Amino acid sequence: DAKTTQPPSMDCAEGRAANLPCNHSTISGNEYVYWYRQIHSQGPQYIIHGLKNNETNEMASLIITEDRKSSTLILPHATLRDTAVYYCIVFPPGAGNNRKLIWGLGTSLAVNP
Amino acid sequence: DTGVSQDPRHKITKRGQNVTFRCDPISEHNRLYWYRQTLGQGPEFLTYFQNEAQLEKSRLLSDRFSAERPKGSFSTLEIQRTEQGDSAMYLCASSPTGWHTEAFFGQGTRLTVV
Protein backbone atom coordinates (compact mmCIF):
# COMPACT_ATOMS: atom_id res chain seq x y z
CA ASP A 1 0.00 0.00 0.00
CA ALA A 2 1.10 3.54 -0.71
CA LYS A 3 2.43 5.33 2.34
CA THR A 4 1.07 8.69 1.25
CA THR A 5 -2.35 10.27 1.02
CA GLN A 6 -3.20 12.84 -1.63
CA PRO A 7 -6.47 14.44 -2.76
CA PRO A 8 -7.69 12.72 -5.91
CA SER A 9 -8.13 15.92 -7.90
CA MET A 10 -7.51 19.66 -7.82
CA ASP A 11 -8.13 22.63 -10.07
CA CYS A 12 -5.98 25.67 -10.58
CA ALA A 13 -6.30 28.79 -12.69
CA GLU A 14 -3.56 29.38 -15.23
CA GLY A 15 -0.91 31.76 -13.89
CA ARG A 16 -1.80 31.11 -10.27
CA ALA A 17 0.15 29.01 -7.81
CA ALA A 18 -0.83 25.37 -7.50
CA ASN A 19 -0.37 23.93 -4.01
CA LEU A 20 -0.57 20.15 -3.90
CA PRO A 21 -0.70 18.59 -0.43
CA CYS A 22 0.53 15.19 0.65
CA ASN A 23 0.21 13.40 3.97
CA HIS A 24 2.90 10.92 4.99
CA SER A 25 2.31 10.53 8.70
CA THR A 26 4.19 7.21 8.94
CA ILE A 27 7.36 8.46 7.26
CA SER A 28 10.57 7.04 8.72
CA GLY A 29 13.59 9.08 9.65
CA ASN A 30 15.64 8.08 6.62
CA GLU A 31 12.87 8.34 4.04
CA TYR A 32 12.83 11.12 1.53
CA VAL A 33 9.77 12.72 -0.03
CA TYR A 34 9.79 12.55 -3.83
CA TRP A 35 7.40 14.14 -6.29
CA TYR A 36 6.84 12.93 -9.83
CA ARG A 37 4.22 13.91 -12.36
CA GLN A 38 2.73 12.09 -15.29
CA ILE A 39 1.24 13.91 -18.21
CA HIS A 40 -1.37 11.92 -20.08
CA SER A 41 0.09 9.04 -22.12
CA GLN A 42 3.66 9.83 -21.11
CA GLY A 43 6.08 8.31 -18.62
CA PRO A 44 6.44 9.85 -15.17
CA GLN A 45 8.75 12.83 -14.80
CA TYR A 46 10.80 13.62 -11.71
CA ILE A 47 10.04 17.01 -10.14
CA ILE A 48 11.79 17.40 -6.80
CA HIS A 49 12.70 15.62 -3.59
CA GLY A 50 13.61 16.51 -0.01
CA LEU A 51 14.30 15.15 3.44
CA LYS A 52 13.39 17.84 5.92
CA ASN A 53 14.46 21.19 4.53
CA ASN A 54 12.42 23.10 2.01
CA GLU A 55 13.69 22.65 -1.52
CA THR A 56 13.33 24.67 -4.71
CA ASN A 57 14.33 24.02 -8.28
CA GLU A 58 13.38 25.37 -11.66
CA MET A 59 10.15 23.40 -11.70
CA ALA A 60 8.73 23.68 -8.22
CA SER A 61 9.16 24.20 -4.49
CA LEU A 62 8.74 21.56 -1.82
CA ILE A 63 7.67 22.54 1.67
CA ILE A 64 8.00 19.83 4.34
CA THR A 65 6.49 20.37 7.77
CA GLU A 66 8.79 20.30 10.76
CA ASP A 67 7.40 16.98 11.97
CA ARG A 68 7.78 15.65 8.38
CA LYS A 69 4.30 14.20 8.43
CA SER A 70 3.13 16.22 5.48
CA SER A 71 4.44 18.24 2.58
CA THR A 72 3.23 20.60 -0.14
CA LEU A 73 4.41 20.83 -3.72
CA ILE A 74 4.12 24.34 -5.08
CA LEU A 75 4.03 25.17 -8.77
CA PRO A 76 4.44 28.94 -8.55
CA HIS A 77 2.84 29.94 -11.87
CA ALA A 78 0.84 27.05 -13.24
CA THR A 79 0.47 26.71 -16.99
CA LEU A 80 -1.80 24.50 -19.08
CA ARG A 81 1.17 22.18 -19.62
CA ASP A 82 1.24 21.47 -15.89
CA THR A 83 -2.02 19.54 -16.20
CA ALA A 84 -1.00 16.07 -15.05
CA VAL A 85 -1.24 13.49 -12.28
CA TYR A 86 1.14 14.36 -9.46
CA TYR A 87 2.54 11.58 -7.29
CA CYS A 88 3.99 12.05 -3.82
CA ILE A 89 6.19 9.11 -2.81
CA VAL A 90 8.29 8.40 0.27
CA PHE A 91 11.13 5.91 0.29
CA PRO A 92 14.62 5.50 1.65
CA PRO A 93 17.76 6.18 -0.38
CA GLY A 94 19.98 3.35 -1.44
CA ALA A 95 21.41 1.62 -4.44
CA GLY A 96 18.63 0.77 -6.82
CA ASN A 97 15.99 1.92 -4.42
CA ASN A 98 13.83 3.27 -7.21
CA ARG A 99 12.55 -0.30 -7.31
CA LYS A 100 10.87 0.40 -4.00
CA LEU A 101 8.83 3.31 -5.26
CA ILE A 102 5.26 2.67 -4.19
CA TRP A 103 2.97 4.82 -6.23
CA GLY A 104 -0.48 5.70 -5.00
CA LEU A 105 -3.21 7.19 -7.15
CA GLY A 106 -1.76 10.70 -7.09
CA THR A 107 -3.55 14.01 -7.52
CA SER A 108 -4.98 14.84 -10.92
CA LEU A 109 -4.29 18.55 -11.38
CA ALA A 110 -6.29 20.42 -13.98
CA VAL A 111 -4.98 23.86 -14.89
CA ASN A 112 -7.76 25.90 -16.40
CA PRO A 113 -7.40 28.88 -18.76
CA ASP B 1 17.07 13.15 -27.60
CA THR B 2 19.22 11.46 -24.97
CA GLY B 3 16.43 10.30 -22.70
CA VAL B 4 15.11 6.79 -22.10
CA SER B 5 13.72 5.31 -25.30
CA GLN B 6 11.13 2.54 -25.55
CA ASP B 7 10.03 0.64 -28.59
CA PRO B 8 7.37 0.12 -29.76
CA ARG B 9 5.13 2.83 -28.34
CA HIS B 10 2.02 0.78 -29.00
CA LYS B 11 1.46 -2.93 -29.52
CA ILE B 12 -1.77 -4.78 -30.23
CA THR B 13 -1.55 -8.54 -30.07
CA LYS B 14 -3.87 -11.50 -29.99
CA ARG B 15 -4.23 -13.51 -26.83
CA GLY B 16 -1.69 -16.31 -26.70
CA GLN B 17 0.94 -14.54 -28.79
CA ASN B 18 4.39 -13.58 -27.52
CA VAL B 19 5.52 -9.98 -27.45
CA THR B 20 8.87 -8.32 -26.78
CA PHE B 21 9.54 -4.73 -25.80
CA ARG B 22 12.83 -2.90 -25.89
CA CYS B 23 14.21 -0.20 -23.62
CA ASP B 24 17.30 1.91 -24.26
CA PRO B 25 18.29 3.69 -21.06
CA ILE B 26 20.31 6.87 -20.74
CA SER B 27 23.77 5.73 -21.78
CA GLU B 28 25.67 6.37 -18.57
CA HIS B 29 22.98 4.90 -16.30
CA ASN B 30 23.83 1.49 -14.89
CA ARG B 31 20.46 0.87 -13.22
CA LEU B 32 17.36 -0.05 -15.17
CA TYR B 33 13.82 -0.72 -13.98
CA TRP B 34 10.65 -2.06 -15.54
CA TYR B 35 7.22 -1.05 -14.27
CA ARG B 36 3.68 -1.82 -15.33
CA GLN B 37 0.82 0.66 -15.16
CA THR B 38 -2.84 -0.08 -15.65
CA LEU B 39 -5.43 2.56 -16.35
CA GLY B 40 -6.06 4.90 -13.43
CA GLN B 41 -3.35 3.33 -11.27
CA GLY B 42 0.19 4.29 -10.41
CA PRO B 43 3.13 2.32 -11.81
CA GLU B 44 3.99 -1.05 -10.20
CA PHE B 45 7.54 -2.32 -10.00
CA LEU B 46 8.35 -5.42 -12.06
CA THR B 47 12.10 -5.89 -12.12
CA TYR B 48 15.46 -4.18 -11.64
CA PHE B 49 18.89 -4.52 -13.25
CA GLN B 50 22.23 -3.21 -12.16
CA ASN B 51 24.37 -3.42 -15.27
CA GLU B 52 23.58 -6.84 -16.75
CA ALA B 53 22.57 -8.44 -13.47
CA GLN B 54 18.88 -8.82 -12.71
CA LEU B 55 18.87 -8.14 -8.99
CA GLU B 56 15.21 -8.21 -8.12
CA LYS B 57 11.92 -9.39 -9.54
CA SER B 58 8.49 -8.55 -8.23
CA ARG B 59 6.01 -11.32 -7.56
CA LEU B 60 3.98 -9.59 -10.27
CA LEU B 61 6.48 -10.96 -12.77
CA SER B 62 4.98 -14.36 -13.49
CA ASP B 63 6.86 -17.12 -15.27
CA ARG B 64 5.41 -15.88 -18.56
CA PHE B 65 7.48 -12.74 -18.19
CA SER B 66 11.21 -12.55 -18.74
CA ALA B 67 13.56 -9.61 -18.86
CA GLU B 68 17.14 -9.37 -19.99
CA ARG B 69 19.87 -6.80 -20.18
CA PRO B 70 22.61 -8.79 -21.91
CA LYS B 71 25.38 -6.21 -22.17
CA GLY B 72 24.31 -3.86 -19.46
CA SER B 73 22.94 -1.41 -21.98
CA PHE B 74 19.51 -1.94 -23.57
CA SER B 75 16.94 -4.26 -22.01
CA THR B 76 14.12 -6.39 -23.33
CA LEU B 77 10.91 -7.50 -21.65
CA GLU B 78 9.19 -10.51 -23.15
CA ILE B 79 5.71 -11.73 -22.36
CA GLN B 80 4.84 -15.22 -23.52
CA ARG B 81 1.33 -16.50 -24.14
CA THR B 82 -0.20 -13.09 -23.56
CA GLU B 83 -3.47 -12.79 -21.66
CA GLN B 84 -6.01 -9.98 -21.67
CA GLY B 85 -4.92 -9.09 -18.15
CA ASP B 86 -1.49 -8.22 -19.51
CA SER B 87 -2.95 -5.18 -21.23
CA ALA B 88 -1.19 -2.21 -19.65
CA MET B 89 1.46 0.43 -20.13
CA TYR B 90 4.95 -0.99 -19.66
CA LEU B 91 7.38 1.63 -18.44
CA CYS B 92 11.15 1.50 -18.39
CA ALA B 93 13.28 3.79 -16.24
CA SER B 94 16.97 4.22 -15.62
CA SER B 95 19.05 5.90 -12.96
CA PRO B 96 22.74 6.60 -12.49
CA THR B 97 25.10 5.24 -9.87
CA GLY B 98 24.62 6.90 -6.55
CA TRP B 99 22.92 6.51 -3.26
CA HIS B 100 20.15 8.90 -3.90
CA THR B 101 19.06 9.32 -7.46
CA GLU B 102 15.82 9.85 -9.27
CA ALA B 103 14.50 7.62 -12.01
CA PHE B 104 14.23 8.82 -15.60
CA PHE B 105 11.30 7.24 -17.40
CA GLY B 106 10.67 6.42 -21.01
CA GLN B 107 7.38 7.12 -22.77
CA GLY B 108 6.24 3.57 -22.22
CA THR B 109 4.87 0.81 -24.44
CA ARG B 110 1.12 0.43 -24.39
CA LEU B 111 0.11 -3.19 -24.85
CA THR B 112 -3.39 -4.20 -25.82
CA VAL B 113 -4.22 -7.90 -25.84
CA VAL B 114 -7.34 -8.71 -27.83
Residues of A with CB under 8 A from a CB of B: 2, 32, 34, 41-46, 49, 87, 93-96, 98-101, 103-106
pLDDT for A87: 95
Q: B92: helix, coil or strand? A: strand
Secondary structure (DSSP) of B19-88: EEEEEE--TT--EEEEEEE-TTS--EEEEEEETTEEEEE-TTS-TTEEEE-TTSS-EEEEESS--GGG-E
Among A49, A93, A101, select the one facing B99 at the smallest CB separation. A93
Banded pLDDT at A2 (limits 50, 70, 90):
low
pLDDT tens per residue, chain B (114 residues)? 579 999 999 999 999 999 999 999 999 899 999 999 999 899 999 999 999 999 989 888 889 999 999 988 999 999 999 999 999 999 999 998 777 678 899 999 999 999
- pLDDT tens for each residue of A16-44: 999 999 999 999 888 889 999 999 989 99
Contact A34 B102 (CB under 8 A): yes
Distances (CA, A) of B111 to A63, A70, A87, A111: 38, 36, 23, 29
Closest-CA residue of B relative to A89 is: B42
- pLDDT for position B1: 54
Q: What is the 3-state secondary structure (H, E, C) of chain A?
A: CCCCECCCEEEEECCCCEEEEEECCCCCCCCEEEEEEECCCCCCEEEEEECCCCEECCCCEEEECCCCCEEEEEECCCCHHHCEEEEEEEECCCCCHHHHCCCCCCEEEEEEC
d(C-alpha B4, C-alpha A44), whole Å:
12
Query: Across the interface, do B31 and A96 touch by the CB < 8 Å criterion?
Result: yes
Residues A104, B50: C-beta atoms closer than 8 Å: no
**Exposed, middle or buried by CB within 10 Å (0-12, 13-18, 19+), for A58?**
exposed
Tell which wins on pLDDT, B64 or A103: B64
- Among A43, A96, A106, beta carbon nearest to B42: A106
Q: Indicate yes or no: CB of B55 within 8 angstroms of CB of A34.
A: no
Separation between Cα atoms, residue B38 and residue B89, nearest integer Å: 6
A50, pLDDT greater than 90: yes
A55-97 pLDDT, tens digit each = 999 999 999 999 999 999 999 999 999 999 999 998 877 767 7
Q: How confident is the model at residue A3, as a pLDDT? A: 85
